[in-house]
Amino acid sequence: MRWQLWLVLLVVFESAADIFAKEYSLTRARLHAASALALYIVCNSCWLFALCRGSGLARGAILFSVASAILAVILGVLVYHESLTPATSAGLLLGLVALVLLGYGG
């Protein structure tokens, strides 16, 4: 598999882990905590494979950070009805710009 696919899997599993972590913060259900921890382990495995397949530390870390942050904001707003402040909106826009610039430079 190419490194890009491993990075996509990393973002997907990270988002799932974040959902379980958020659910744990709301319910204190141990199953949610265990699920979050297990998914974070899967995330780190995907990160290792992405690095081994050539993502590069700097490029991969930036792509992962920005993509997972954007997805976390979207999930927070749509699923958990968290507020989107002007600063969060500006950060979201800058993150999208960063992804576009990295796409052209990568």
Mean pLDDT in order along the chain per 10 residues (106 residues): 93 97 97 98 97 93 91 93 93 89 72
* Three-class DSSP category at 51: helix
Give me the pLDDT at residue 37, please. 98
Contact 50, 103 (CB under 8 A): no
Give me the pLDDT at residue 105, please. 63
Give me the pLDDT at residue 47, please. 97
Closest C-alpha to 50, from 42, 29, 22, 36: 42
Question: What pTM did the predictor assign?
Answer: 0.86
Q: Where are the beta strands (DSSP E) in the chain?
A: none
Distance CA 105, CA 102 (A): 5
Whole-angstrom CA distances from 31 to 18, 25, 34, 40, 47 are 14, 12, 5, 14, 24
